[in-house]
């Protein structure tokens, strides 16, 4: 299936279970893959038959920066559901939400959740 990818979008926000995460904030990174048939847009050069990736970026930015969640699982779910609700031509969405520096003692690259949701 065809897809549009937005990779490594970075935002500063206030999500987390710990009070200091909500007070101090931290960096979050988001990857999103939008699965849909891109043939009609490619054949006609008509943006209305695709998904405007600038609008997809704005959707993610608004949710990550303006809303607040304890769990990155809930944040990823909200992004996926909003994408499906916004674009009727979207058949499936994959959201990876990365928390590069969570308050966990130890050595690791990052923690992340990845969810895939399909239109029902």
Rounded to 5°, angle at Cα 81 from 38 and 74: 135
Neighbour count for residue 78 (Cβ, 10 Å): 15
What span, in angstroms and rounded, lies between the C-alpha atoms of 110 and 10? 14
Residues classed as catalytic = 99
What span, in angstroms and rounded, lies between the C-alpha atoms of 89 and 113? 25
Neighbour count for residue 103 (Cβ, 10 Å): 12
């Amino acid at each position: 299936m065809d897809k549009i990818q937005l990779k490594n979008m970075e935002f500063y926000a206030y999500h987390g279970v710990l009070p200091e995460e909500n007070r101090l904030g931290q960096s979050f990174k988001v990857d999103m893959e939008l699965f849909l048939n891109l043939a009609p847009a490619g054949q006609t050069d008509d943006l209305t038959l695709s998904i405007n990736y600038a609008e997809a970026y704005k959707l993610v930015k608004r949710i990550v920066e303006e809303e607040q969640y304890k769990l990155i699982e809930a944040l990823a779910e909200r992004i996926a559901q909003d994408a499906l609700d916004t674009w009727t031509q979207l058949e499936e969405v994959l959201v990876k939400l990365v928390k590069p520096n969570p308050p966990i003692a130890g050595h690791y690259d990052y923690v992340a959740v990845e969810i895939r949701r399909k239109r029902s």
